[in-house]
Amino acid sequence: MIDPKSRLCFGCGRTLPEIARWGRMESHERLSIMAELPARMAEAGLPPLAPAAAKDSAAKA
């Protein structure tokens, strides 16, 4: 789901164009975007992203 104000995905923090291109991006481009996600979410006033390990363990519980 996309936040209409910031145009960021509530779940991952990426924009729709980034999501659409994700599979075609070079690894360095994906890593660069991923490094920006926590700041993007904070600037947009959205809840912080949970670390992947925390999401995995929550899903198994």
The pLDDT value recorded for residue 40 is 94
> Digits of tens for pLDDT over the chain (61 positions)?
999 999 999 999 999 999 999 999 999 999 999 999 999 999 999 988 777 644 444 444 4
Handedness of CA 43, 17, 52, 46 (dihedral sign): positive
Whether the predicted model's global pTM rises above the 0.85 cut:
no
The pLDDT value recorded for residue 7 is 96
Distance CA 29, CA 43 (A): 21
The pLDDT value recorded for residue 48 is 85
Domain boundaries, the chain: 16-60
